[in-house]
């Protein structure tokens, strides 16, 4: 024995140690740790080490034994309209334009106000936290109300300052949307859990001059841009008819493409457009369930990945999914990529997990803070129990997370080191409150049902 | 008031009345009942009527109030290899031939015996019952062992008398497989929950002379035929090289096609082949997750449905899915059909539910007994709770079943009027037993892991 082996180890006091059977950090090396501990103090991950070493090195106020669990970074939903939760399943199996014109838009015109958005977003935050999602990239009216709901539940949110041209209850024109967006942005300044992006809705709803303003503000404020892009064939042919070019070419010419640009959907992309996305360092928020359900098509994820485009995963809103469930979305993304490319090795499980975590953090410019289990990052963590008989046996916890598990196997969700959800119970949400929200709004919305 | 209104109503004594918020019978008219009761006596559905009428007309030994639930016919998994449950996730993200040659087949050669099949099938039956599946159409070695497991758990099973040419622990050649199959068939004769099909594995593993024998026996015994067909492009090109025709043409020429013929997969089908399936009244067991996961492709379900081919839904084995979960399979079938056809109205929710119930019953020739909630049929029923906040609100219980629910929302599963699963507990399976099965077999199988 060397002398150092005999020295008494210095014990560090920390708030929380999670002793996990497995830890999947979603790091650059696709690491899988077994019998590992994650050490948390003052919101941060301060160590990741074998449990036997953690027991010597740390004394924790709380030790959580997760001996049948895999610990993963909190899932990040890269494209949401959280406040559409109350419209879940209101008009299924409808063609897109009927869905929008006859159901969703009339309902939004008549019903949506600040109170609605806060209530519906609260339900969304509850659904997301209980399913292991710790952060979402949102776009909707009344972003301040979404932030209120997020704050209440303790989830992290990257909230779009939504811009449209047409008048709604929320704003009268593009300048008004921008103005209201900046007021919202100012209101959550300094809040460690809320960040902003500029969210011009889509090329088919935004004029060139508004895109130019958005770009100017994005540069001035150092914010990213989140928009819908190439979701449907109609969108593309409309753009060709109106502007003479496909939407991506138009936004490229306007100067919007860059490493702060998140394109939701990207279903219909030509090879040179995929190259363009790669060259500019843009991000695709892939929404496979929504793209299938609305009949939009199947995004060329295999080609995007081959060309090193950063692809993350989103659920879209609950009106077109109808779950805000990153487990089913990861699974679908992996399966669909394999099936569409006829290559079983395409989009393996670890890559799917990274698309649902670190890739989304990169897209939002938050990868220095979240997206992986690494020392110095925020402790946004999820424990998933892998011992349920219906998902047994488990040979590989990473493949299990993607192909076998459901969100129902999530047992604990932490955001910034705080336990926000565990075994059916929320830290800050009363079940009765969610019931009341549904009782208030469902009768109002029912008339817009298919 | 007429005289008859004043007569005292005659009360009928029955075993069970389920008072449901909604009943979705999966009948020819796509009915949806609200505040309805299903009345069960001696294994059968004896009435389906409004709950206020049921309370007058029936006195039941047991009344189950399912006031937040939708009651549906038990789901039928149209293509399984139940005993592969213990190989769940053993070799994911591998090309099909590597998956088979380096992992699945070596594991099967070394491990599979009668005890293995009974144990692994028991785990499969538990998983299926807890997820609302009441019947499965199986194909594997040692069918008698699968029947033993099914009997033990009380699930219904349509079990393939599996035929291959090559020797295994189970049988030495095609005649031996057939002989062992008939012994199994004889062993469960008279068992009301077990029925048989002839299950020649696939055109690429079965010779013409064996197919001819299978056909002769099928005719003599009045049994259907269940085989893999057109699962991969390789299978088709191999057939073209060996036989000069595509597999479906070959089995057609051998006389196998007909209303007793279930083709699992049917991923790659030309228009005239779809016509052929329709003309012969064949059935497709569509396995969307497995087809995607193994990179086989996307079946032309939209075209099959348009041409009135009877399509049902299967999970395939847990080694290529990795769930025996008819909820996620229904959802995937509906989403994939819409996305691949770029038509949001394709495969609406009620049709997806019928593919997972009555269509499968038709394929197995059991639609006189099971597959829908209709008077005179076996009481194979599932209650699904729709009030969980994560799937709220609910505007349409049918669309909710397919797009929002997961198998975790199943609260009760009955087979032939007997409650086999409820709220995490089985009538005939001890949780410890499942744990022991996993502890026995997982260490043996682990060496075949990817």
**Domains assigned to chain B:** 9-73+381-415 (2.30.40.10), 75-363 (3.20.20.140)
Please give the pLDDT value at position A98: 87
Residue B81 marked in a binding site:
yes
Mark yes or no for CB contact B88/A404 under 8 Å: yes
Q: Which of A341, A389, A394 sits opposite B431 (nearest CB)?
A: A389
Please give the pLDDT value at position A9: 66
pLDDT tens per residue, range B374-405: 999 999 999 999 999 999 999 999 999 999 99
Does B253 sit behind a cis peptide bond, omega within 30 degrees of 0 on the bond before it?
no
Query: Chain A residues with CB inside 8 Å of B95's CB?
Result: 343-345
Top-confidence residue, B176 or B5: B176
Phi and psi of B44, rounded to 5°? -110, 155
Please give the pLDDT value at position A97: 81
Nearest CA in chain A to B437: A393
Distances (CA, A) of B436 to A93, B229, B275: 44, 36, 49
Mark yes or no for CB contact B389/A90 under 8 Å: no
The first and second tokens of residue A63, run together, are 């030790």
Query: Chain A residues with CB inside 8 Å of B88's CB?
Result: 391-395, 404
Please give the pLDDT value at position B100: 86
Handedness of CA A413, A416, A418, A420 (dihedral sign): negative
Assess whether pLDDT exceeds 80 at residue A5.
no
Q: Which residues fall within 8 angstroms of residue B443, CB to CB, at 6 or more apart?
A: none
Rounded Cα–Cα distance for residues B285 and B272 (Å): 19
Query: Chain A residues with CB inside 8 Å of B322's CB?
Result: 399-400, 403-404
From edge to edge, which strands make up the β-sheet containing A133-138?
A75-80, A133-138, A156-163, A194-200, A224-229, A261-265, A283-286, A310-313
Mutate to test the interface with A, among B236, B391, B393 (most CBs of A within 10 A): B393
Distances (CA, A) of B280 to A191, B211, B277, B314, B354: 66, 17, 5, 21, 21
Rounded Cα–Cα distance for residues B422 and A134 (Å): 32
Mark yes or no for CB contact A389/B127 under 8 Å: yes
Rounded Cα–Cα distance for residues B350 and B347 (Å): 8
Report the SS3 class of residue A194.
strand
Place of tokens 């590992």: A36
Count of alpha carbons within 13 Å of B368, Cβ hemisphere only?
1
B423 burial type by CB count under 10 A (0-12 exposed, 13-18 middle, 19+ buried): exposed
The first and second tokens of residue B442, run together, are 């997982």
Query: Chain B residues with CB inside 8 Å of A94's CB?
Result: 344-345
Min Cα separation A248/chain B (Å):
21
Assess whether pLDDT exceeds 90 at residue A76.
yes
Output the CA angle B325-B327-B333, nearest 5 degrees.
Answer: 100
Rounded Cα–Cα distance for residues B90 and B110 (Å): 15
Rounded Cα–Cα distance for residues A371 and A374 (Å): 9
From edge to edge, which strands make up the β-sheet containing B75-80?
B75-80, B133-138, B156-163, B194-200, B224-229, B261-265, B283-286, B310-313
The first and second tokens of residue B328, run together, are 């996620």
Q: What percent of chain A has pLDDT over 90?
A: 95
Place of tokens 């990179």: B295
From edge to edge, which strands make up the β-sheet containing B33-41?
B44-50, B33-41, B12-23, B58-73, B381-385, B410-415, B418-422, B425-426
Most confident of A7-16, A94-103, A316-325: A316-325
Rounded Cα–Cα distance for residues A419 and A362 (Å): 24
Min Cα separation B80/chain A (Å):
15
Assess whether pLDDT exceeds 90 at residue B302.
yes
Q: Which of B296, B323, B446 sits opposite A395 (nearest CB)?
A: B446
Provide the number of CB pairs (under 8 Å) joining chain A to chain B.
207
Query: Chain A residues with CB inside 8 Å of B99's CB?
Result: 344
Q: What percent of chain A has pLDDT over 70?
A: 98
Terminal Cα-to-Cα distance of chain A (whole angstroms):
76
Q: Which of A95, A99, A292 sits opposite B336 (nearest CB)?
A: A292
Average pLDDT rounded to a whole number, residues B287-293: 98
Mark yes or no for CB contact A93/B341 under 8 Å: no
Terminal Cα-to-Cα distance of chain B (whole angstroms):
76
Q: Which of B322, B335, B449 sits opposite A292 (nearest CB)?
A: B335
Nearest CA in chain B to A352: B93
Average pLDDT rounded to a whole number, residues A264-281: 98
Average pLDDT rounded to a whole number, residues A134-145: 98
Place of tokens 């336990």: A419
Q: Which of B88, B95, B349 sits opposite A345 (nearest CB)?
A: B95
Rounded Cα–Cα distance for residues B363 and A311 (Å): 41
Q: Which of A86, A127, A391 sits opposite B390 (nearest CB)?
A: A127
Query: Chain A residues with CB inside 8 Å of B89's CB?
Result: 394-396, 399-400, 403-404
Please give the pLDDT value at position B8: 53
Rounded Cα–Cα distance for residues A84 and B333 (Å): 24
Mark yes or no for CB contact A399/B341 under 8 Å: no
Min Cα separation A251/chain B (Å):
25
Rounded Cα–Cα distance for residues A267 and A285 (Å): 10
Shortest CA distance to B92 belongs to which of A227, A222, A55, A352?
A352
Residue A403 DSSP class? I
- The band of A4, judged by pLDDT with boundaries at 50, 70 and 90, is very low
Q: Which of B93, B349, B406 sits opposite A406 (nearest CB)?
A: B406
- The band of A3, judged by pLDDT with boundaries at 50, 70 and 90, is very low
Please give the pLDDT value at position A263: 98
Handedness of CA B318, B323, B325, B327 (dihedral sign): negative
Query: Chain A residues with CB inside 8 Å of B406's CB?
Result: 328, 406-408
Mutate to test the interface with A, among B68, B87, B92 (most CBs of A within 10 A): B92
Mark yes or no for CB contact A442/B395 under 8 Å: yes
Q: Which of B90, B406, B407 sits opposite A395 (nearest CB)?
A: B90
Shortest CA distance to A144 belongs to which of A108, A180, A191?
A180
Assess whether pLDDT exceeds 80 at residue B1.
no
Mark yes or no for CB contact B393/A338 under 8 Å: no
Place of tokens 């025996």: B324
Mark yes or no for CB contact A434/B392 under 8 Å: yes
Shortest CA distance to A229 belongs to which of A205, A203, A208?
A203
Min Cα separation A443/chain B (Å):
10
Q: What percent of chain B has pLDDT over 90?
A: 95
Nearest CA in chain A to B447: A395
CB A217 within 8 A of CB A178: yes
Shortest CA distance to A203 belongs to which of A166, A248, A233?
A248
Residue A245 DSSP class? S
pLDDT tens per residue, range B106-139: 999 999 999 999 999 999 999 999 999 999 999 9
Please give the pLDDT value at position A275: 98
Output the CA angle B408-B409-B410, nearest 5 degrees.
Answer: 95
From edge to edge, which strands make up the β-sheet containing A418-422?
A44-50, A33-41, A12-23, A58-73, A381-385, A410-415, A418-422, A425-426
Please give the pLDDT value at position A449: 87
Count of alpha carbons within 13 Å of B250, Cβ hemisphere only?
25
Please give the pLDDT value at position A1: 40
Query: Chain B residues with CB inside 8 Å of A395's CB?
Result: 88-90, 442, 445-446, 449
Query: Chain B residues with CB inside 8 Å of A396's CB?
Result: 89, 92, 449-450
Rounded Cα–Cα distance for residues B223 and B245 (Å): 27
Shortest CA distance to B330 belongs to which of B373, B295, B286, B371?
B286
Q: What number of H helices and E strands is found in chain A?
A: 18, 16
Handedness of CA A124, A85, A332, A274 (dihedral sign): negative
Query: Chain B residues with CB inside 8 Å of A449's CB?
Result: 395-396
Please give the pLDDT value at position A35: 98
Average pLDDT rounded to a whole number, residues B307-324: 97
Assess whether pLDDT exceeds 70 at residue B80.
yes
- The band of A202, judged by pLDDT with boundaries at 50, 70 and 90, is very high
Rounded to the nearest 5 percent, the helix, strand and coil shares of chain B are 45, 25, 35
Please give the pLDDT value at position A385: 98
A272 burial type by CB count under 10 A (0-12 exposed, 13-18 middle, 19+ buried): exposed
**pLDDT mean across residues, chain B:** 96
Mark yes or no for CB contact B292/A336 under 8 Å: yes
Residue B316 marked in a binding site:
yes
CB A401 within 8 A of CB B93: no
Residues B24-52, buried b or exposed e (16+ Cβ, 10 A)?
bbbeeeebebeebbbbbbebbbbbbbebe
Average pLDDT rounded to a whole number, residues A416-424: 97
Residue B226 marked in a binding site:
no
pLDDT tens per residue, range B168-182: 999 999 999 999 999
Average pLDDT rounded to a whole number, residues B100-104: 90
Output the CA angle B208-B212-B216, nearest 5 degrees.
Answer: 170
Q: Which of A292, A394, A438 sits opposite B89 (nearest CB)?
A: A394
Min Cα separation B441/chain A (Å):
9
Query: Chain A residues with CB inside 8 Å of B394's CB?
Result: 88-89
DSSP string for B214-228: HHHHHHHHT-EEEEE
Please give the pLDDT value at position B7: 52
Strand partners, A338: none
Top-confidence residue, B56 or A448: B56
Nearest CA in chain B to A298: B339
């Amino acid at each position: 024995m060397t002398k150092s082996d005999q020295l008494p180890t210095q014990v560090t006091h920390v708030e929380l140690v999670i002793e996990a059977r497995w830890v999947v950090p979603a790091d650059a090396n696709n690491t899988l740790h077994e019998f590992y501990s994650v050490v948390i103090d003052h919101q941060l991950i301060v160590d990741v080490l074998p449990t036997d070493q953690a027991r010597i090195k740390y004394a924790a106020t709380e030790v959580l034994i997760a001996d049948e669990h895999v610990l993963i970074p909190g899932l990040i939903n890269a494209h949401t309209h959280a406040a559409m939760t109350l419209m879940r399943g209101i008009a299924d199996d409808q063609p897109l334009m009927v869905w929008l014109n006859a159901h969703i838009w009339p309902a939004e015109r008549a019903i949506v106000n600040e109170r609605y958005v806060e209530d519906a977003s609260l339900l969304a935050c509850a659904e997301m936290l209980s399913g292991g999602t710790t952060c979402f990239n949102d776009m909707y009216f009344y972003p301040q109300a979404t932030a209120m709901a997020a704050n209440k539940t303790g989830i992290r949110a990257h909230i779009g300052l939504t811009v449209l041209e047409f008048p709604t209850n929320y704003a009268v024109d593009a300048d008004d949307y921008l103005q209201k967006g900046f007021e919202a942005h100012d209101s959550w300044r300094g809040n460690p859990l809320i960040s902003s992006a500029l969210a011009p809705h889509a090329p088919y709803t935004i004029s060139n001059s508004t895109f130019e303003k958005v770009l100017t503000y994005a540069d001035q404020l150092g914010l990213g841009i989140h928009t819908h892009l190439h979701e449907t064939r109609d969108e593309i042919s409309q753009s060709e008819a109106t502007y003479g070019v496909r939407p991506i070419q138009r936004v490229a010419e306007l100067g919007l493409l860059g490493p702060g640009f998140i394109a939701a959907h990207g279903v219909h992309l030509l090879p040179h457009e995929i190259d363009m996305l790669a060259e500019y360092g843009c991000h695709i928020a892939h929404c496979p369930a929504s793209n299938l359900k609305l009949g939009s098509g199947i995004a060329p994820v295999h080609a995007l990945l081959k060309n090193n485009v950063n692809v993350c995963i989103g659920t879209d809103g609950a009106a077109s999914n109808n779950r805000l469930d990153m487990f089913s979305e990861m699974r679908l993304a992996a399966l669909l990529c394999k099936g569409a490319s006829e290559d079983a090795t395409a989009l393996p499980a670890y890559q799917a997990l990274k698309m649902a975590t670190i890739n989304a953090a990169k897209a939002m410019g938050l990868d220095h803070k979240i997206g992986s289990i690494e020392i110095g990052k925020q402790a946004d963590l999820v424990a998933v129990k892998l011992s349920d008989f219906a998902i047994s046996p488990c040979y590989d916890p990473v493949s299990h997370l993607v192909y076998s598990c459901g969100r129902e196997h999530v047992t604990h969700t932490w955001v910034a080191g705080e336990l926000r959800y565990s075994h059916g119970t929320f830290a800050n949400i009363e079940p009765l409150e969610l019931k009341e929200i549904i009782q208030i709004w469902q009768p109002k919305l029912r008339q817009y049902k298919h």
